[in-house]
Structure 1
Amino acid sequence: MTVTTATAVASTSASASSAADAGTAADPWPVPEFTERLRAVTADRYHDRHPFNERMHRGELTPAELRRWITNRFHYQRHIPVKDALILAKLDRPELRRPWLRRIRDHDGTADGEGGIERWLRLGEAAGLPREQLWDSSRVLPGVRFAVEGYVTFCRLRPALDAVSASLTELSAPGLMRTRISAFERHYPWIDPAGLAYFRTRVDQGARDGAEALALVHSWARTREQQHRAVAALAYKCEVLWALLDAVDRGDTGGRDGAPDGAGP
Structure 2
Amino acid sequence: MTTALAPRPEPSASAEPCTPAEFEARLRAVTQERYHDRHPFNLRMHSGDLTPAELRRWIANRFHYQRHLPVKDALITAKLDTSALRRMWLRRIEDHDGREEGEGGIERWLRLGEAAGLNRETLLRADDVLPGVRLAVDGYVNFCRHRPPLEAIAASLTELAAPDLMRTRIDAFERHYRWIEADGLAYFRTRVDQGRRDSGEALGLVLAWARTRDGQERAVAALRFKCEVLWSLLDAVEAAGSREENP
TM-score (norm 1): 0.86
Distance apart, 1:86 and its partner CA: 0.2
Name the structure 2 match of 1:20. none
Distance apart, 1:135 and its partner CA: 0.8
RMSD in angstroms over aligned alpha carbons? 1.6
Name the structure 2 match of 1:136. 125
Larger radius of gyration: 1
The AA in structure 2 aligned to 1:141 is L
Name the structure 2 match of 1:221. 210
Name the structure 2 match of 1:78. 67
Name the structure 1 match of 2:162. 173
Q: How does 1:36-185 map to 2 (within 5 A)?
A: 36-185=25-174
Distance in 2 (alpha carbons) for counterparts of 1:253 and 1:145: 19
- Name the SS of the counterpart of 2:127 in structure 1: helix
Distance in 2 (alpha carbons) for counterparts of 1:114 and 1:253: 36
Unaligned residue ranges in structure 2 (runs of 5+): 1-11
Distance in 2 (alpha carbons) for counterparts of 1:25 and 1:110: 46
Distance in 2 (alpha carbons) for counterparts of 1:210 and 1:68: 28
Distance in 1 (alpha carbons) for counterparts of 2:220 and 2:241: 33
Deviations 1:180-227 (A, max 9, x none): 000000000000010000000000000000000000001110000000
The AA in structure 2 aligned to 1:169 is T
Distance apart, 1:138 and its partner CA: 2.3
The AA in structure 2 aligned to 1:108 is D
The AA in structure 2 aligned to 1:75 is H
How many residues align structurally? 233
Moved more, 106-115 or 135-144: 135-144
Name the structure 1 match of 2:8. none
- Name the SS of the counterpart of 1:139 in structure 2: coil
Name the structure 2 match of 1:233. 222
Distance in 1 (alpha carbons) for counterparts of 2:222 and 2:243: 34
The AA in structure 2 aligned to 1:185 is E
Distance in 2 (alpha carbons) for counterparts of 1:153 and 1:246: 20
Mapped contact 1:141–1:253 kept (Cα < 8 A): no
Moved more, 95-104 or 176-185: 95-104
- Name the SS of the counterpart of 2:178 in structure 1: coil
Distance 1:24 1:92, change over 3 A: closer
Distance apart, 1:25 and its partner CA: 6.7
Name the structure 2 match of 1:260. none
Distance in 1 (alpha carbons) for counterparts of 2:107 and 2:28: 30
Name the structure 2 match of 1:27. 16
Distance apart, 1:26 and its partner CA: 1.2
Mapped contact 2:105–2:187 kept (Cα < 8 A): yes
Deviations 1:18-39 (A, max 9, x none): xxxxx99711100110000000
Deviations 1:153-193 (A, max 9, x none): 00000000000000000000000000000000000000001
- Name the SS of the counterpart of 1:110 in structure 2: coil
Runs of 4+ in 1 over 2 A off after TM superposition: 252-255
Distance in 2 (alpha carbons) for counterparts of 1:99 and 1:144: 29
The AA in structure 2 aligned to 1:205 is Q
Mapped contact 2:20–2:207 kept (Cα < 8 A): yes
Deviations 1:71-119 (A, max 9, x none): 0000000000000000000001011111111000000001111000000
The AA in structure 1 aligned to 2:33 is D
The AA in structure 2 aligned to 1:116 is G
Distance in 2 (alpha carbons) for counterparts of 1:25 and 1:81: 36
The AA in structure 1 aligned to 2:230 is L
Distance apart, 1:50 and its partner CA: 0.2
- Name the SS of the counterpart of 1:138 in structure 2: coil
Unaligned residue ranges in structure 1 (runs of 5+): 1-22, 256-265
The AA in structure 1 aligned to 2:213 is R
